[in-house]
Amino acid sequence: MRTEPRAGLAHVPPPPVSRQISVRAHELAPRIGELEANLHMIEEAIRDAAKAGVQMLVLPELATSGYYLRVDEAKRCALPADDPVFGKWASLLDPGMVLVLGFCERDGDTLFNSAAVITQAGVIAVYRKTHLWDEEQSIFEPGSAPAPIVQTPLGNLGVLICYDLEFPEMPRGLALRGAEIIAVSTNWPTVSRPEGEHPPEVIQAMAAARSSRVAIVCCDRAGTERGNLWTQGSSVINGDGWLSGKRDGDRLDATITIAPGRTQIGPRNDSINDRRPAIYVPSGNVSQG
């Protein structure tokens, strides 16, 4: 079914060719609980990206509903993963174009904080957020399946949502399973940081990208919502761990390069193959700080 990731746990071999991919993170400002207005805003963002020749468009977490939802608002905005609107959006994409967006998903009576991966062929994967932040736990069920690796026309795409990224296991696991690009739909509330520093979540993304030589595209939110200021920390990070791209208002456009052999980081070193999993320790929840 569409509500389960299509890709399994097996390693997905990436295409053995170098590619340059035009990506965009578009920081929308959905209106809380106003489904129709939000769907319209998403449609406009898709049309705008297609017109600009963007190959991968990433939109924020819960773009269809807003974030600081009451339960009744979440229910009112929730969409099943086979809702016709996804087909409509698919029809607006150029051939080879990939769209990742967060949406409030309904499956029977259960709600999920989900992300859909959409091409001209329709919804090719749905991922349900694994790690729920704070009040999300009152509204959504956490996902029960690993984050997907999706074979797209652009390469192997992994998908995460917001807080997922703060668990180093998540981007690393996707990279080990063959992800070349990780799209992160997110809503980062502003947290304090020292002068001159990137937002902490961006630092975590930069580190994750460099450790596994995987490109990461994070799309954050714009504006404020119920008094909460968003970070507007959208970031496109190449596999070398450095930020790239150019901002135009709420849109961040960049070109990422996916090169075969990019994990070969020195004449005798490879950031993946140098791993020594046999002597890494078990990963259960054991520490109580």
- Tokens representing 212 are 């596994």
Contact 219, 234 (CB under 8 A): yes
263 binds a second copy (CB under 8 A): yes
- Residue 72 dihedral angles phi and psi, to the nearest 5°: -65, -35
37 binds a second copy (CB under 8 A): no
Residues in 136-155 at the binding interface with a second copy, rule: CB under 8 A: 137, 142, 144-146
Options 91-99, 111-119, 190-198, 248-256: segment touching a second copy (CB under 8 A): 190-198
Contact 251, 27 (CB under 8 A): yes
- Tokens representing 57 are 């468009």
* C-alpha closest to that of 107 among 2, 239, 6: 2
- Residue 197 dihedral angles phi and psi, to the nearest 5°: -95, 150
20 binds a second copy (CB under 8 A): no
DSSP state of 230: B
Contact 262, 271 (CB under 8 A): no
40 binds a second copy (CB under 8 A): no
Q: What angle do CA 66, 72, 75 make, to 5 degrees?
A: 70
CA distance 109 to 210: 40
Among 151, 243, 255, 257, binds a second copy (CB under 8 A): 243
Options 26-34, 48-56, 72-80, 208-216: segment touching a second copy (CB under 8 A): 208-216
Minimum distance of a second copy from residue 79's CB (angstroms): 24
Instruction: Specify the 3-state DSSP secondary structure of 269.
Output: strand
Options 85-93, 113-121, 178-186, 217-225: segment touching a second copy (CB under 8 A): 178-186
Among 177, 233, 235, 251, binds a second copy (CB under 8 A): 177
Among 175, 183, 236, 254, binds a second copy (CB under 8 A): 175
Among 84, 196, 227, 249, binds a second copy (CB under 8 A): 196
Q: Residues touching a second copy: how many (CB under 8 A)?
A: 73
Nearer to a second copy, 194 or 249 (CB): 194
Options 50-58, 92-100, 204-212, 222-230: segment touching a second copy (CB under 8 A): 204-212
